Structure 1
Amino acid sequence: MPPVLPYHITHLHLHDVKSMPVPGVQQQGAYLVFWWKEFALGHLFIAPGEAQIEAEFYKKVTAAIAPALAFYTSTSEQERPGIAGMQFEAWKEWMETAFARWQTETVPEAVPVSVVICTRNRAVQLSRCLQLLMQSDCIPAEIVVVDNAPADDSTQEVVRQLENVRYVPEPRAGLDIARNTGVLHARFPLVAFIDDDVVVHPLWVYQVWQAFEDPEVAAITGLVLASALETEAQLIFEKHWSFNRGYTDKQYDANFFNATLAQGPPVWRIGAGANMAFRRSIFERTGLFNELLDAGAAGCNGDSEMWYRILAEGGKILYTPRAIVFHEHRRDMAGLKKQIYSYMRGHAAAALMQQQQHPQARYRKHLVNIFLINYSRAIIKGFPAYRFQYRTLWNQILGVFSGIAFYYRHRNKANRTTAKTYAHSAG
């Protein structure tokens, strides 16, 4: 089997280039991300050795950024200038005018947001994350680092070297346990979460704060872009398990919940826990994160189960592609397989817990369809070698079985755990 070649990530800032570059044939693959100033517009994969005919390349780029342009400018493709050749300067002038109403003229130095970073024995990643967060164009009112069942004092040492970062130890292992500790120590009305292996865009904090200007928004998620695609594991994840939910705003509310309840609301589509934020007051209505959905327990999915409860309470969740972070995917295949196993274990357990909360949500049928349709097809398509995305197939299947078994062993605890009350503490 030939090796999977790495992909080089190129961020094309279209407002800064004189013409649209057409990539030549490269041994490496290319992952192009298109920007207009601080707005991410779309992306494009180009396979290693893939020749680019100029006219076809322009069509691909146009298609990649079309949804974002339609959203931001309220125009159809026919109404917009083309991006090819001599039309590019006219396109840039049109973009300058069309995006004028979205431009941020002044950005406050700080906003009343508590940023919580849950971490465990990853001092190098945490240090980079904190340094760049603190250098943002707009900084949060506070940063809380929750040190989750640490094996040493390396995390505390990182925090000790930085001003205005609070260190909170949490001896019990579990991401949702750590998240709950962060919520209870947050002092400000908005609580944002990022993973320790992300790098934030300079305007991330500002865009999180802006998203809550709508008083009906209870929670948000944001755009997660890959920071590197250097290994097969990273490429598999980005192509088949990506945290990227697109380049246009999406709203999830009671209408979405009720319209999808009969099949089980697909709350996992809302976003990623690596980039999410909540109005702190929502925890008074929903309770805290479900600690049964932790690594070492069900696996994960505490974030999507929380979004489910918010929607069930009539809350509104916004996905905004302007709140951007860059995520470092797991580099090795063993790490990816473990991650996907945990995802599917947590997915199955959370789905059944959600149906327990609302029996009319047909998540059991969803899980049956995963096996009868998705996995049966994948087993046939991947046979016999099970390469690339199929390398995690058996981990997925085992994860679902394990999650179902976990739920039935702990179903009597599920309601008590999700009903866990919120009691605010200033730490």
Structure 2
Amino acid sequence: MLERSEKENCNQTVAGNLGVCICTRNRPDELERCLLSVLACGKEVNEIIVSDDSTDTRTAEMIRLKFPVAKYVTGPKKGLGANRNCAIDSASSMYLIFLDDDSEIDPGFVAAVDELVAKDKLNLQNTMVTGNQIEDGVSIKPHDQSFLGFQNVFYQPGEELNTVNIMATVFPRSMLSKVRFDDLLVYGYDEVDICARCRHYGAVVKYCDKANVYHYPSVVNRDYYSPYTESSRIYVTFKRYYMVDNKRLKSWIFLFIAMAHLLLSRIKHEGFCGIKKSFLIGVKALGYIRENAKSSQCYREYKSFFKNL
């Protein structure tokens, strides 16, 4: 049973208690701009952790020379899910945010979150506070999943949120010490997965319309990450229906329809060459499902944690 300290019970401000986790891979230039934006937040940020999955030493050298204040750790080189967990293990702050290495945090982000916390009297120990992801001047709010798992469903005013913008979300570290990111996920839909599992055990999501993170999508790593996105969507959505929502029939119906949709979509856009790609994506998704089934008993461990929040 996890018990909260008196400090954790009383401290409901993010400022001065925020750890910024940045997972990176072969993007030292983008990472440098990200780190400069974090330093501009001043004392509102308590610590900076850079977990590095790079295949060369450029990032490590850049951190050593320009950002000695950051805690540099070598990542597990297994993908983004495992790298996020590596950053969590290296953090000591009460609250954590996961910036992409090609993003920049607004200097007023933390103040905006604390303003919402005070106004709504939020319990930060079981709350994920999420803001906006801004790309090309467009503010992107969290979107819910469709039946097939695509994040393209707009929330209605006042509707309870099921998802977050991962790079604009403050998490309580105590929550993430129990509900971990999925190590199987190399890239894509990890924010949907962890949010669904946290909410299943009592956590809530609150939206802060003044909290902004700016995203400048880098072309670096896109070829590396792109084969995993669709597999991740199918796997994460199946896992949500099967294990989190406990709707077994729905999960199998979803899997059949998702595989058929994937095949037809690939044929439509790529011709018969899409058949091979859809097969490989499907095999990878099924591999994820099979590997996860071996450790599904871990879900039982979460219940006692959230009952004590």
State the TM-score, normalizing by the size of structure 1: 0.53
Matching residue of 1:364: 252
Q: Do the aligned partners of 1:353 and 1:414 also contact (CA within 8 Å) in 2?
A: no
Give how far 1:365 is off. Answer: 2.8
Q: Do the aligned partners of 1:344 and 1:399 also contact (CA within 8 Å) in 2?
A: no
Q: Find the partner of 1:215 among 110, 123, 127.
A: 123
Structure 1 residue matching 2:18: 3-state secondary structure = strand
Write the distance in 2 (CA, Å) between the matches of 1:418 and 1:300: 21
1:320 aligns with 2:201: no
Matching residue of 1:264: none
1:291 aligns with 2:183: yes
Write the distance in 1 (CA, Å) between the matches of 2:151 and 2:218: 12
Q: Do the aligned partners of 1:138 and 1:205 also contact (CA within 8 Å) in 2?
A: no
Structure 1 residue matching 2:236: 3-state secondary structure = helix
Identity of aligned residues (%): 20
Matching residue of 2:92: 187
Q: 1:420 to 1:162 in 2, by over 3 A?
A: farther
Give structure 1 stretches of 5+ with no counterpart: 1-107, 230-240, 253-266, 422-427
1:152 aligns with 2:40: no
Q: Do the aligned partners of 1:147 and 1:155 also contact (CA within 8 Å) in 2?
A: yes
Deviations along 1:76-124, one digit per CA (max 9) or x if unpaired, are: xxxxxxxxxxxxxxxxxxxxxxxxxxxxxxxx99531111111122100
1:18-417 alignment to 2 at 5 Å? 110-136=15-41, 139-148=44-53, 150-160=54-64, 161-213=66-118, 214-215=122-123, 217-227=126-136, 251-252=160-161, 267=162, 270-284=163-177, 286-293=178-185, 295=186, 299-331=187-219, 335=222, 339-354=225-240, 355-360=242-247, 362-370=250-258, 376=264, 386=269, 397=278, 401-415=282-296
Give structure 2 stretches of 5+ with no counterpart: 1-12, 139-149, 303-309
Matching residue of 2:306: none
Write the distance in 2 (CA, Å) between the matches of 1:408 and 1:323: 35
Q: Give the partner amino acid of 2:123.
A: P
Give how far 1:275 is off. Answer: 2.6
Structure 1 residue matching 2:294: 3-state secondary structure = helix
Larger Rg: 1
Q: Do the aligned partners of 2:98 and 2:166 also contact (CA within 8 Å) in 1?
A: yes
Matching residue of 2:147: none
Q: Do the aligned partners of 2:131 and 2:210 also contact (CA within 8 Å) in 1?
A: yes
Give how far 1:243 is off. Answer: 9.3
Q: 1:315 to 1:242 in 2, by over 3 A?
A: closer
Give how far 1:342 is off. Answer: 1.7
Which structure: greater helix fraction?
2
Matching residue of 1:52: none
State the TM-score, normalizing by the size of structure 2: 0.71
Q: CA RMSD in A?
A: 3.9
Write the distance in 1 (CA, Å) between the matches of 2:299 and 2:237: 13
Matching residue of 2:143: none
Write the distance in 1 (CA, Å) between the matches of 2:203 and 2:247: 19
Write the distance in 2 (CA, Å) between the matches of 1:180 and 1:152: 21
Give how far 1:316 is off. Answer: 0.5
Give how far 1:193 is off. Answer: 0.8
Structure 1 residue matching 2:166: 3-state secondary structure = coil
Q: 1:409 to 1:192 in 2, by over 3 A?
A: same
Q: Which has the higher contact order (CA 8 A, sep 6+)?
A: 2
Write the distance in 2 (CA, Å) between the matches of 1:203 and 1:250: 26
